[in-house]
Structure 1
Amino acid sequence: MMTRSQAAAQRRERILGAAIRQRLIDPDDALLAGFVDLDGVADSVAALRRAFPDSISVLHAFAAKANPLVPLLAELRGLGMGCEVASAGELAQALAAGFMPDQIVFDSPAKTRAELRQALELGVTVNADNFQELNRIADILATRASTSQIGVRINPQVGAGSIAASSTATATSKFGIALEDDGNTERLLRVYREHPWLTWVHAHVGSQGCPLDLIAQGIARTVAFAEKVNAELGRRQIIGIDIGGGLPVDFDSDDMGPGFDTYVAHLRDRAPSLFTGDYQLVTEFGHSLLSKNGFTAAYVEYTKTSGQRPIAITHAGAQVAARTVFQPDSWPLRVSTHHPTGAAKTGPTVVQDIAGPLCFAGDLIARAHPLPALVPGDVVAILDTGAYCFSAPYHFNTLPDPAVYGVRGGADGDLRFEPLRAAQTLDDLLRTSA
């Protein structure tokens, strides 16, 4: 029986081979492209939905920042997802993808008055980040009605995981109202008492590097805060809890762990009140839904040796994997090597660097990595890049954004590619910089 890793590698090889045959990636005209396995995305969404019991009301809102390509957002909408946005641009993308306003959650820490007015006029759910923003919302609602669900983001201050930059519930985090700071809990109680339209609470502990128990601990403090508000006010004013996302991704293998079911088990242990049906819930997963379902393919242009170290110069670097290039220890990515046909390269491995095309020395996807020896014309696949990579380009050196394709089809049928983003042309680049 084929292992999960073998099956995943075989599917990637089939996708890559078909893409090469159809010239979606080509050594002359298309040196770099991204691919999203839409069948895998559907499986991941189904796993998320199965993990939560049918007895509670849950809106699973995809975190658009993970991959905001409009056709992909529309695909997720078709799978029953909502959409979490963190900017006016992401809000526009969500609306263009067909999400109804009541399926959208707006979470930016720096919302302008104009953005708040738009969201409240549309009926988009809004999570206020701070007391000043709450005052702005109150001023707007004093002059017009809104159907928006409105909450406040709290910082449960439970600490950091192993990656500081993706830990959002530290003592000094920029996000939310710090729950444990002197006077903040009492001030929040007054705000909820004064504003009956404030009916939700939101928290997000972090993502990659945050253990599940830390995330569950932060959500438990959030639930305790909601229950304190309702008890102090003598009414069920808080009716919904947005528990954020944050399930970490295994970048070392094709394992999909730890899994949404494991995450829910931690929540049941730490915050059982979430599952009584007393609260509506929102989740905001992105990274864990898409990363394992995407890869980036790039041609090897040159190979060389420097200081006895073989180096492959490819067309994939920081412009499609900025996190990995600038924080390689926190965001490592696996690389697979392929012949020009897309077939996997096998044989003895050579310790080598996989470098990108950008004009700075640190533009490396992999450092001292043992892989079959690469030669010009080979193809490398950068794995687990369905989120926060080719959909979030870094524009140093003015390299064009690569095409991104969705792919469908099982083992017994032909693979079908769908454009999710067209390749940017040089004329497109000139229009944006002229």
Structure 2
Amino acid sequence: MTAPSVDAFGRVGGRLAVGGVPVDRLADRVGSTPFFAYDRELVSTRVAAVRTALPEGIHLSYAVKANPMPALLAHMSGLVDGLDVASSGELRHALDTPFGPDRISFAGPGKTEAELAQAVAAGVMVELESATELRRVREIGERAGLRPVVALRVNPDFAVRGSGMRLGGGPQQFGVDAERVPSVLAELGDLDFRGFHVFAGSQNLSAESLAEAQRRTVELVRGLSDHVPGPLRYLNLGGGFGIPYAARDTPLDLDAVGGNLATLMEDGIRPHHPDARVVVELGRYLVGEAGIYVTRVVDRKESRGTTFLVVDGGLHHQLAASGNFGQAIRRNYPIAVADRIEEPRDETVDVVGCLCTPLDLLGKGVELPHAGPGDLVCVFQAGAYGLTASPTAFLGHPAPVEVLV
């Protein structure tokens, strides 16, 4: 049994296909393995589903950190309302898209003075993570003769149940503690302050938990807005929409999330903040299920009762699938033999990479069709936090190619 999104990919002659192209042919086109392949139609379909579920008046932003591939960003720029970046490198890529700077925000802790200066010069919104960042941005604006556009990221006084990674509540490197927000706002000076960004947790499959977090976020912002000079013009509710990685995971009820947001817009946001640009910011949920990681079997070996398929890829490209990117308990990502996608899964194997560490494990006890050297193994759910979230320099293997099909 596999995660539901696996069936979203096509089949051509018993082989897995991405964007209608069989994976073995795609491998020939790329010229080498391993590689990442992203299906542009699956991305478009997911964005359309989110837009249908979200109520009128909510803007959809893409979190570039999930996958900053330039071709993907160009495609995404025709689908979403804005981009959120977390480094100067991502900022450069975002500015290369058709989006103007007024559609780009820059969040994340530890922004250097050089990065802040780049953001101010570009005219993008800086989402301040501390009082120190506020002072630096103010000084940069004064030196440059510019009025920086800013928002304040808030570390809420609550956590989100069921999140794979907690980004709010308790002590955090992210944002300004909610109780400190009034004193930080008092230092704004002449900055062009737009509003707040509250993001409490990621990778959540519970619509109920997300709804609770969104309700509490709106309540929190209502109180904080009393300390804002002028009307609130920006409210980023974060995201945190999760995707299934294992068979036991239940996909997020997107309609339930959208229904809760509709109620919040009507009862909690518009009556108090009629001028606010309300944003839901998603990354993984938009692109995660649209990508696969393709790697080739280079050896098949038996060791004391276990069959190993040794592939030419590994955790240096797809750290998350190895279980070393935030998983408390390692679980296999969906995995298949791409050129034998419809054959019976009649043996149990471990799929391991080419690195000199036992951590380089892409699949443990996986049921697959019989495979050997030359066969293509693909790891699903690879569209987000894949290549750029992995230690690509480890052992000096070549970097994989990425293709948007």
CA 1:158–1:52 in structure 2 vs 1: closer, same or farther (change >3 Å)? same
1:67·1:392 contact (CA, 8 Å) conserved in 2? no
Q: Aligned ranges for residues 44-193 of structure 1 at < 5 Å?
A: 44-54=46-56, 56=57, 58-146=58-146, 148-159=148-159, 161-162=161-162, 166-180=165-179, 184-188=180-184, 190-191=186-187
Q: CA–CA distance in 2 between the matches of 1:33 and 1:83?
A: 25
Q: CA–CA distance in 1 between the matches of 2:96 and 2:123?
A: 16
Q: Aligned ranges for residues 342-353 of structure 1 at < 5 Å?
A: 342-353=339-350
3-state secondary structure, aligned to 2:258? helix
Q: CA–CA distance in 2 between the matches of 1:351 and 1:150?
A: 54
Q: CA–CA distance in 2 between the matches of 1:401 and 1:297?
A: 13
Moved over 6 A (4+): none
Q: Aligned ranges for residues 220-239 of structure 1 at < 5 Å?
A: 220-231=215-226, 236-239=230-233
Q: CA RMSD in A?
A: 3.0
**Which residue, out of 387, 401, 404, partners 1:403?**
401
3-state secondary structure, aligned to 1:108? coil
CA 1:22–1:152 in structure 2 vs 1: closer, same or farther (change >3 Å)? closer
Q: CA–CA distance in 1 between the matches of 2:352 and 2:172?
A: 34
Q: Aligned ranges for residues 286-365 of structure 1 at < 5 Å?
A: 286-325=283-322, 326-327=324-325, 329=329, 332-338=332-338, 342-365=339-362
Q: Gaps spanning 5+ residues in structure 1: where?
A: 408-434
Q: State the structure with bigger RCO (CA 8 A, min sep 6), 1 or 2.
A: 2
> 1:202 maps to which residue?
197
> 1:32 maps to which residue?
34
CA 1:141–1:391 in structure 2 vs 1: closer, same or farther (change >3 Å)? closer
Q: Does 1:248 align with 2:242?
A: yes
1:205·1:215 contact (CA, 8 Å) conserved in 2? no
CA 1:162–1:315 in structure 2 vs 1: closer, same or farther (change >3 Å)? farther
The sequence identity of aligned pairs, in percent, is 26
2:61·2:80 contact (CA, 8 Å) conserved in 1? no
Q: CA–CA distance in 2 between the matches of 1:5 and 1:127?
A: 33
Normalised TM-score (structure 2): 0.86
2:138·2:191 contact (CA, 8 Å) conserved in 1? no
Q: CA–CA distance in 2 between the matches of 1:39 and 1:163?
A: 28
Q: CA–CA distance in 2 between the matches of 1:223 and 1:236?
A: 18
Cα deviations by residue, 1:301-344 (Å, 9 ceiling, x for unpaired): 11111221111001231022112321553664110124xxx242
> 2:25 maps to which residue?
21
Q: Gaps spanning 5+ residues in structure 2: where?
A: none
Cα deviations by residue, 1:102-150 (Å, 9 ceiling, x for unpaired): 1111002111222222212221011100111112222233445546531
3-state secondary structure, aligned to 1:387? coil
Q: CA–CA distance in 1 between the matches of 2:113 and 2:26?
A: 48
Structure 2 residue identity aligned to 1:50: T
Shift of 1:406: 1.5
Cα deviations by residue, 1:360-379 (Å, 9 ceiling, x for unpaired): 11100111222223222222
Q: CA–CA distance in 1 between the matches of 2:21 and 2:205?
A: 36
Cα deviations by residue, 1:177-214 (Å, 9 ceiling, x for unpaired): 1225xxx244245346x556322111111212474444
1:150·1:197 contact (CA, 8 Å) conserved in 2? yes
Cα deviations by residue, 1:12-53 (Å, 9 ceiling, x for unpaired): 713386342355368xx5122211110111111112222223
Q: CA–CA distance in 2 between the matches of 1:257 and 1:139?
A: 46
> 2:368 maps to which residue?
371
Q: CA–CA distance in 2 between the matches of 1:318 and 1:240?
A: 39
1:158·1:214 contact (CA, 8 Å) conserved in 2? no
Shift of 1:220: 3.3
CA 1:361–1:239 in structure 2 vs 1: closer, same or farther (change >3 Å)? same
Q: CA–CA distance in 2 between the matches of 1:22 and 1:34?
A: 10
Cα deviations by residue, 1:253-293 (Å, 9 ceiling, x for unpaired): 59993154332233345674235544211222110000111
CA 1:299–1:157 in structure 2 vs 1: closer, same or farther (change >3 Å)? same
Q: Does 1:273 align with 2:268?
A: yes
